[in-house]
Structure 1
Amino acid sequence: MNDKWNFSMDEKTMNIYRNLNEQIDKVFRHTRQGSIKTRYRYEDGMNHFAKFLAETFKKQNLNKIENKHLQGYVEQMQESGYSKSYITTNLSAIRFFVDVRGGDSKKLSINKKLGVLPRTREDRIGSNKAWNDTEVKRFIEYANNKNEFRYADMVNLSYSHGLRVHEVARLDKSQLGDALEKGFLTVKGKGGLIRSIPLSNKELVERLYKETKSGEKVFINKEEKTHKVINNLQVFIYNHNKEFRNSDKSLTFHGLRHVYAQRRYRELTQKGFNDYSARLKVSRELGHFRVKITDIYLS
């Protein structure tokens, strides 16, 4: 990630940041607006914004958040490679905070004026940006050479099983143990949908199982926040694309689900499944309710 976000604060700036955090904590401790999950995510977004305010503007309080603060924040996040989704969610967190505090978030510029365009269909679902086998191999070698062993394993696991990045990040030791015992990796995806995927990289799962302590997550340490690990991984992939890709296409973590879908579809049709049955099975393994959505991954 861009070094701008590796804050090395002097004592004065750190005190400002702590003061801003106290203001944020007070608001979120007493509000009951929104779901618990939303409040947690918004509070984290505000803490991220507070770091920026302390470092860049030396702002002592959050009573008056202005467009100049949002504009600078957006520009710095974009320069650092944050996803459009992450940026828009953090802006929503700021507006939520302003309104809960009794302000009027409608006075702040809309995202478009801040240079943040709405997520496109491609952002939500993804175009056909499937990695090929060589690109996956190159990434794993590159990440390992950079001592980013966790990133290498997360990419490898998604490539093997078609998991979303959040599903990979949430895996714990017990899930891997069950997978080794039953031959299926079971995960909870979007909408709470539970699905089982055939275990296709037993060697990797066995190693991760041995390396993970009982009761702990595979890739997230206790002191870490899941979304930060996910974002750092995505930024790493974005910043180092040229080191492992074979073409000019931009590779993302989501593209690993594309390559899984295409590979799995070929496997199933070679085993005798007709076109619809193969697409339906791939759809279920990706965690989709409709076959039509899966067609995007296969095109």
Structure 2
Amino acid sequence: MSVETAQQYLADRAATVSQKTLDLDRQAMQMHLGVRLDVVKSERETHLSTRSYTAAQVERIASAQSERNSLATRIAHCAGLRAHELLTIRPTEERPSSGHREWSAERFTGREGERYTVEGKGGLVREVLLSMELAQQLEATRLDEPREVTDREVHYTQHYDLAGGQAWSQSFTAASQRELSFSNGAHGLRHSYAQERMEELQLRGVNYEEAKGIVAQEVGHFDKDTTEAYLR
């Protein structure tokens, strides 16, 4: 087992197991490999307490935010991004996806747009797809020089003046409360993305199990069963 494989295993497990179980797994693999592995936060508690938003609800939330936060919300919904991944987005020609994984050729079937990459859990760099309209809006925020930002004590190099991380997540929750009188948290956008993609793929004749595997890769996991956590 390589360090990269161990980190991806933990990232996949994060969707389905508790923080305690995840920490025990990490500690066991650290002993086996003789190296320290990055701490991965469990998403299970978040998954159990969040539900998806409809496209109309997302639009209402985005419309209630500042222009900068609004664009981040629309991009996160379009591409199924985690909050911190918004800070890492780059064109594919500047940073390709991780080469140590085998990517499905069926990713993004049924959608058109521009491909970018983001860095997710475990350092996995994956391709994401933005609509042409959102890609154009994103490019309008391109920074002349990259800048260093810190979110939750993690340092990122940002190439666009795009909201992300905890500050954007808090803005999203506040806007959702104002507009909808409830909030499922920004993570609910990943639920929305997964459910929309499952429906799109199956309407194009992809069977349920294959669709789960494709969607898992699109949201940054490789275990297709993690997709189930997003389908509530």
Residues 128 and 234 from structure 1, CA distance in 2 versus in 1: closer, same or farther, beyond 3 angstroms? closer
Q: 1:193 corresponds to which letter in structure 2?
A: L
Paired amino acid for 1:184: R
Q: Matches of 1:176 and 1:130 in 2, distance apart?
A: 32
Tell me the TM-score normalised to structure 1 length: 0.49
What's 1:93 paired with? none
The structure with the largest helix share of the pair is 1
Is 1:233 aligned to residue 168 of structure 2? Answer: yes
Write the deviation string for residues 32-66 of structure 1: whole angstroms up to 9, x where unpaired. xxxxxxxxxxxxxxxxxxxxxxxxxxxxxxxxxxx
Q: Superposition pairs for residues 133-144 of structure 1, below 5 Å? A: 133-143=55-65
Q: Distance in 1 between matches of 2:219 and 2:228?
A: 12
Question: What residue in structure 1 maps to residue 127 of structure 2?
Answer: 196
Equivalent residues, number: 166
State the secondary structure of the residue aligned to 2:196.
helix
Identity of aligned residues (%): 28
- Superposed CA RMSD in Å reads 2.9
In the other structure, the counterpart of 1:292 is 225
Give yes or no for contact 2:176–2:183 (8 Å, CA) kept in 1. yes
Question: Judging changes above 3 Å, is the alpha-carbon distance between structure 1 residues 290 and 120 closer, same or farther for their aligned structure 2 residues?
Answer: closer
Aligned to 2:45: 122
CA distance in 2, matches of 1:187, 1:224: 15
Whether 2:136 is the aligned partner of 1:206: answer yes
Deviation of 1:223 after TM superposition, in Å, equals 6.8
1:134 Cα deviation from its structure 2 partner: 1.3
* Cα distance in structure 1, aligned partners of 2:168 and 2:141: 20
Compare the two structures and name the one with the higher strand fraction: 2
Residue 105 of structure 2 is matched in structure 1 by none
Instruction: Provide the rounded CA distance (Å) in 1 between the counterparts of 2:148 and 2:229.
Output: 37
Kindly indicate whether the alpha-carbon contact (under 8 Å) linking 1:175 and 1:185 is maintained by their aligned counterparts in 2: yes
Q: Which amino acid aligns with 1:239?
A: A
CA distance in 1, matches of 2:48, 2:179: 20
The one-letter amino acid of 2:55's match is D
Gaps of 5+ in 2: 1-18, 20-41, 97-112, 154-163
Mapping for residues 43-62 of structure 1, pairs under 5 Å: none
Q: Aligned partner of 1:279: which letter? A: K
Relative contact order higher in (CA < 8 Å, ≥ 6 apart): 2
Secondary structure at 1:240's aligned position in 2?
helix
Offset of 1:183 from its aligned partner? 3.7
Partner of 1:92: none
Letter of the aligned partner of 2:166 in structure 1?
N
Q: Secondary structure at the match of 1:253?
A: coil
Cα displacement (A) at 1:129 = 1.3
TM-score (norm 2): 0.62
1:152 matched residue in structure 2? 70
The 3-state SS of whatever aligns with 2:74 is: helix
Provide the C-alpha distance between the structure 1 equivalents of 2:43 and 2:130, rounded to a whole number of angstroms: 33
Question: Which residue does the alignment assign to 1:244?
Answer: 179
8 Å contact kept, 1:282–1:294: yes
Q: Deviations over 1:181-212 (max 9, x none)?
A: x9422222111222223x24111111211331
* Equivalent in the alignment of 2:86: 168
In 1, the alpha carbon distance for the partners of 2:220 and 2:227 equals 10
CA distance in 1, matches of 2:56, 2:213: 28
